[in-house]
Amino acid sequence: MDFFSSSGVFYALIAVFLAGAIGALFLRRKDSAANIWGNSLAATGSLAGLLFAGASLLHGSATAFSLGTSFPLLTLTFRLDRLSAFFMLTVCFVALICSVYAIGYVRHYYGKYSVGVLGFFYNIFIASMILVMTVHNALFFLIVWEVMSLASYFLVIYESRQSANIRAGSFYLIMTHTGTAFIIVSFLLMYKVTGSFDFETIAAGLAGASALMKNAIFLTALIGFGVKAGIIPLHTWLPGAHPAAPSHVSALMSGVMIKTGIYMLMRISLDILTGSYWWGIALLAIGAASSLLGVLYALSEHDLKRLLAYHSIENIGIILLGLGSAVVFSSAGMDTLAVLALAAALFHTLNHATFKALLFLGAGSVIAATHTRNIEKYGGLIRYMPLTALFFLIGAMAISALPPLNGFFSEWLTFQAMFQGVTAFGLTTRIVFILAIGSLAFTGGLAAACFVKAFGITFLARPRSEAIAAAREPSVLSRLAMAGMSAAIIGLGLFSGVVMRLLEGVAGSLGSLRGAAPPGSAQFQSVSIENGFARISMPVVFAGIAVAFIGVMAAVYSFTRKRKTITGPTWDCGTRLTPRMEITATGFSRSIITVMRGVLRPSSETEIEYHDANRYFPKFGTVTMGLRDIYQPFIYRPLRELTAMIARHVRKVQGGNVNAYILYIFLTLIGLLILLDVGS
């Protein structure tokens, strides 16, 4: 094997992660050495993977290589086409930034938890995500998928002395294995039709499969990969697991791990299979519900990391709106529009990975400095952590889709694609697209409101706890990592046109879209301007905002430079300003939650403390709002009770008689042989 071939470079970068994992484990008794070794090699492997995936993406053609085994069905086959190269690039970029950040961040675990164990599972986690994006064999895919799930589980329960983390990790493990069971069923159905576990052979063999079989494969895959993506109502593990992990791991889980589910949904619905109309409608409905409910749940949260976790559900919903639109267009033979919609989904996938990772890294710095995740305990942090506040603000503006940052452009393209659906179809489909557009518009406004709350309550006004005064900026490397991610967010917005042209090529490379008009052609360019829709130049938007800002600042300066400014105390009814006079996170979101009470079903708890002398004059009062979990009583509890009932009946056959067990095995073998004979 040539070391400098594509396969040699790929195996070498995987070996770097394995060396980082094993070395960190051997150095587990020396926290500092384990930290530097594990995270440095993770950063090195991520940089190598970033360059490798970037070169493959720009080269355009697919690269395939394999490792032979003595088991024909378990050939270790890898294939790096444009889609997998794009997702690998996204994983490696976020992992590079998080690994640099972690070198400084992990120090606060010294002497508390094993840093070597953290480094071991962290490196395995990154390597397994890269393998998930590149393997081309269903059996091998299931193996690396399981490695990724187990590595992320041990990272979730890393702070094992906290019982809440153990509960969150256990529920995550149950949910992810439930999803894996559906994925296995989907792959077995593919094997039944094609007789192969190779994805390329499967794609060719499924072309003549019945509609019933294709629908069964899609539904089981949607449930299985939807669990990992965190779509509603399969999201219940996500708000508990993501906050429990260390913050740089949370950034990876929320920014890129949940995208493994999106990657496979794109691969199955538009590459391995040819998308059906109702698949696209289902994805649009799930995307609309996930985006809208995700942001509403985030508005009610006062735990900073849980708030960010709910926004991951929201953004997965936005990505599904683009993917669903692409499937609908593809099923109608409108491949050019399908490429536009899928490119918008891919762009938002990349954008969400960047700004969500930045927000989790900023939240990690705040939590490490204040030792609490409760937003109500913050306030005034901009005075003590000004750079962290700046980086968090950039991430908040990007996730709120404010120009000229990257989140605006991908959401604008998603709007554009769905508006094309309104004009291209009949009444029924048009109504679906209109409802999806409304949900996205509503989601955008609520997201902006939520991050006004998150940033304002956290960084502005006066401190609401004594811990704020001791808060300090994170290490230089952590600040450098956040600065790098902020620069990427600004760059992706400023050069979004260039990025979009690249992603149009990625979208057009999928099996069912290869007949679409190529990017740059007259037919493709006309898509975004027909029916009155306009194109947007982000450099022009950026320049316009800059000119407006300079003009406002110049006007303020000219108005105030000749006037004498007198500073005096604020009129405050004879009392000093205190943190009690500030709006709280509960107060900020209470009106919106009350308006949406029919959907959210909020609960409130009031606590009032009176003066000793007079019970009619309250001394202190608090109102705590929460949301009732509608998924447990209506979905998960009935499923749990049904499973328990079936288990009780099944236990009756477990009498402890060995002869009976042999009979069960014999009958099972007879049944399988009959089934095999019927199938052949």
pLDDT digits (tens, 9 = 90+) for 231-278: 988 888 999 999 999 999 999 999 999 999 999 999 999 988 887 899
Whether the bond into 519 is cis, omega within 30 of 0? no
Per-residue confidence band for 574, with pLDDT thresholds at 50, 70 and 90: low
Say which range, 112-116, 333-337, 364-368, 632-636, has the weakest mean pLDDT: 632-636
3-class secondary-structure state, position 607 = strand
Which two tokens mark 379? 């306030």
Structure tokens at 623: 């109102």
- Range with top average pLDDT, 381-385, 528-532, 618-622: 381-385
Per-residue H/E/C for 342-382? HHHHHHHHHHHHHHHHHHHHHHHHHHHHHCCCEHHHCCCHH
Q: How far apart are CA 254 and CA 86, in angstroms?
A: 17
DSSP-derived pairing of the beta strands 602-610 and 76-80? unpaired
Strand partners, 374: 303
Angle at 296 between CA 291 and CA 302, to 5 degrees: 125
Higher pLDDT, 637 or 248: 248
Assign 146 a pLDDT band (cuts: 50, 70, 90): very high
Average confidence (pLDDT) over 316-322: 96
Length of the chain: 680
**Can you give the pLDDT at residue 492?**
93
Confidence check: pLDDT of 184 > 90: yes
Furthest CA-CA distance within the chain = 101
Q: What angle do CA 353, 358, 359 make, to 5 degrees?
A: 105
pLDDT of residue 476: 94
Distance CA 241, CA 259 (A): 16
Q: Tell me the per-residue pLDDT of 446-488, one tens digit each, with 9 for 90 and over.
A: 999 999 999 998 998 888 878 788 888 999 999 999 999 999 9
Residue 344 CA neighbour count, 13 Å, CB half: 29
Residue 20 and residue 119 in contact, taking contact as beta carbons nearer than 8 Å: yes
Q: Does 2 or 304 have the greater pLDDT score?
A: 304
Q: Which residues in 531-580 belong to E strands, given as ranges? A: none
Confidence of residue 534 (pLDDT cuts 50, 70, 90): very low
209/216 Cα distance (integer angstroms): 11
In whole angstroms, give the CA distance from residue 343 to residue 504.
Answer: 5
List C-alpha distances in Å: 358 to 101, 286, 455: 10, 26, 14
State the alpha helices, DSSP H only, in 300-334.
304-331
Q: Give the tokens for residue 426.
A: 């009949």
CA-based Rg of the chain, rounded to a whole angstrom? 27
- Residues 6 or more apart whose Cβ sits within 8 Å of residue 166: 157, 160
Q: What is the SS3 assignment for 514? A: coil
The confidence score (pLDDT) of residue 563 equals 60
State how far the alpha carbon of 290 is from the alpha carbons of 243, 286, 312, 512, in Å: 19, 6, 10, 26
The pLDDT, as a whole number, for residue 603 is 63
Q: Which of 479-483, 492-496, 585-589 has the highest mean pLDDT?
A: 479-483
**pLDDT for residue 523 is more than 60:** no
pTM (predicted TM-score)? 0.89
- How confident is the model over 401-430, as pLDDT tens digits? 998 889 999 999 999 999 999 988 888 999
Closest CA to 30 of 95, 116, 106: 116
Question: DSSP alpha helices (H): ranges in 64-162?
Answer: 82-105, 115-134, 138-156
From CA 418, how far away is CA 325, in angstroms rounded? Answer: 7
Measured N-to-C along each axis, helices 277-299 and 211-229 cross at an angle, to the nearest 10 degrees, of 20
Q: CA 575, 580, 581, 582 torsion: positive or negative?
A: positive
Going 47 to 230 to 594 to 633, the CA torsion angle's sign is negative
Percent of the chain at pLDDT > 90 equals 51
- pLDDT reported for residue 532: 42
Tell me the average pLDDT across 611-616: 59
β-pairing, 618-627 vs 602-610, is antiparallel
Residues in CB range of 220: below 8 A, 6 or more apart:
182, 183, 185, 186, 189
pLDDT value of residue 468? 84
Rounded Cα distance between 262 and 242, Å, is: 18
Strands 618-627 and 76-80 come out as unpaired
Determine the pLDDT at residue 588.
67
Supply the pLDDT for residue 575. Answer: 61
Checking if the pLDDT of 58 tops 90, the result is no
Query: What residues does each domain of the chain span?
Result: 275-553, 586-628, 632-679
pLDDT at position 530: 44
Q: What SS3 state is found at 517?
A: coil
pLDDT for position 3: 43
If pLDDT is split at 50, 70 and 90, which confidence band does 290 have?
A: very high
Helix (H) or strand (E) holding 256: none
Q: Give strand pairing partners of 67.
A: 76
pLDDT of residue 678: 59
Count CB atoms within 10 A of the CB of residue 504. 24
Q: Give the per-residue pLDDT at 119.
A: 94
- What 3-state class would DSSP assign to 625? strand
Arithmetic mean of pLDDT over the chain? 85
**What average pLDDT does range 41-62 have in this prediction?**
90
Rounded distance, CA 315 to CA 152, Å?
A: 21
Instruction: Say how far apart CA 196 and CA 215 lie, in whole Å.
Output: 19
Q: Residue 579 pLDDT > 80, yes or no?
A: no
Q: Where are the alpha helices (DSSP H) in 460-495?
A: 476-494
Burial of residue 526 (number of CB atoms within 10 Å: 0-12, 13-18, 19+): exposed
Residue 285 has pLDDT above 80, yes or no: yes
Closest by CA position to 419, among listed 321, 489, 307, 519: 321
